[in-house]
Amino acid sequence: MISPERSSSQSPRSPAAAAGAPFLSISVTDPVKMGTGVQAYISYRVITRTNLPEFEGPEKIVIRRYSDFEWLHDRLAERYKGVFIPPLPEKNAVEKFRFSKEFIELRRQALDLFVNRIASHPELKQSDVLRTFLQADEEIMDRARSYETGIFKKPADFLQMFKDVQSKVSDVVLGKEKPVEESSPEYEKLKNYIFELENHLAEAQKQAYRLVKRHRELGQSLADFGKAIKLLGACEGDLMEKVFSEVGSKSEMLSIKLQREADNLLFNFEEPLKDYVRAVQSIKATMLDRANAFRQHFDLDQERKYKELNLEKLKFMNPEKYAEAESEFRELKADSEEATKKFEHIVRLMNEELARFQEQKTADIGLAFHEFAKGQAKLAKDIADAWRSILPKLEACSTS
């Protein structure tokens, strides 16, 4: 899902694809290392081409870094509860690898896929934060990222957040609060499916990683063997030297093919599986939003029912306080109805998102396995052809 071909399939990338039709084409290109030491990071050119009227012009080029993509992801996650926000590649990497050519290219392609998934999503593509990300200059982007990630929060805000969390934990520990969970059969089935899918995808990705590693190790072994067999032939007679030299050359040639196939496996097989592991984690984040919305809906509904009973009693027992209580009840009822609508909205969105996810997953994983099988078949043929081509010379050598 992160090879150039797969990335381009996520959204209309060519303005000429349909003359006159609305299009939004985005490319993440030209990764460049900026700064030194612990302050070093990679910047990317993000090129947007579009004919949509809400954008500033037909083409815009901006410079972005990983934290800008992270800002876009987090703002969308805040605003679009119930939507499966496309996943970002992992933020952290082992220090000695994070500026390697392979890691930089993997991340560039993953970021390209991330932003194009957003641009092809029926709701997310209309977001003003996407337009800010694609069009704002670096100074405005830095200011938006700093402000909205909380740098300008007051110390009192952090203190209150800490107190809220501390109070919540105390309630759970002391048994004052028992979390209420949605328990419909359909939702239980969904949860079981998502957790099983995550486990199976993670295991498949782990084995794909081992396949990549095995191809690289075998390629290196063949390269080393090729050099060794050439040296062995050099100390033999003319016939042996020629035959062994050809065996060594075939080994070195196959070593290159194995290394290329290892790269193909990494980009077109392991990474698509890894990307879907991340996608499932995004679904789980949406499930958490759904769980929170359900608890709010449930708690307010229970409180509304309780106060409704008290209101009836108050009507007869304390009429002078009835008007005030009735006003509070109407506010509570409105809040309860709003929470119910919010929960139902998230449920509806999740159902739509799941259908879209299943369709895209089937296509992407199917393509990944097709690429895997095609690459393995070609590699096996190349290996068989290479060794078969020198069998007559080896047979002649062994019978001479």
Domain assignment present for 370: yes
pLDDT at 132: 93
131 and 192 co-located in one domain: no
352 and 307 co-located in one domain: yes
In the numeric block, which tokens belong to residue 122? 């029926």
Query: Could you read off the pLDDT of 15-48 as tens digits, one per residue?
Result: 444 557 888 999 999 999 998 887 889 999 999 9
pLDDT at 6: 46
Rounded distance between C-alpha atoms, residue 250 and residue 223, angstroms: 9
Rounded distance between C-alpha atoms, residue 242 and residue 249, angstroms: 11
- Do 329 and 307 touch, CB atoms closer than 8 A? yes
Full strand arrangement of the beta sheet holding 41-50? 24-34, 41-50, 59-65
Rounded distance between C-alpha atoms, residue 394 and residue 243, angstroms: 7
330 and 239 co-located in one domain: yes
Domain assignment present for 167: no
Domain assignment present for 96: yes
64 and 189 co-located in one domain: no
pLDDT at 152: 43
Rounded distance between C-alpha atoms, residue 49 and residue 56, angstroms: 10
331 and 247 co-located in one domain: yes
Identify the CA nearest to 270 among candidates 194, 124, 369, 354.
369
Q: With H, G, I as helix, E, B as strand and everything else as coil, classify residue 192.
A: helix
Domain assignment present for 155: no
The residue among 148, 167, 197 that closes a domain is 148
- Do 293 and 343 touch, CB atoms closer than 8 A? yes
Domain assignment present for 342: yes
70 and 219 co-located in one domain: no
123 and 200 co-located in one domain: no
Domain that includes residue 97, residue range: 23-148
pLDDT at 368: 95
- Do 82 and 351 touch, CB atoms closer than 8 A? no
Q: Which residues contact 335 (CB under 8 A, 6 or more apart)?
A: 300
Predicted TM-score (pTM) of the model is 0.81
328 and 224 co-located in one domain: yes
Identify the CA nearest to 364 among candidates 285, 278, 261.
278
Alpha helices by DSSP H, listed for the chain, are: 4-8, 66-79, 101-120, 128-135, 138-148, 155-173, 185-234, 238-265, 271-317, 319-399
Domain assignment present for 158: no
Quick one: CA torsion of 267, 269, 275, 277, rounded to 10 degrees?
Answer: -150
114 and 202 co-located in one domain: no
Rounded distance between C-alpha atoms, residue 211 and residue 205, angstroms: 10
Q: Which residues contact 375 (CB under 8 A, 6 or more apart)?
A: 261, 264, 265, 268, 269
64 and 125 co-located in one domain: yes
**Could you tell me the CATH number of the domain that includes residue 280?**
1.20.1270.60
From residue 60, alpha-carbon distances to 55, 128, 263 in Å are: 9, 16, 32
230 and 93 co-located in one domain: no
Length of the chain: 400
Rounded distance between C-alpha atoms, residue 132 and residue 142, angstroms: 11
103 and 229 co-located in one domain: no
Number of domains comprising the chain: 2
Q: With H, G, I as helix, E, B as strand and everything else as coil, classify residue 48.
A: strand
Q: Which residues of the chain have pLDDT under 70?
A: 1-19, 92-97, 148-179, 237, 400
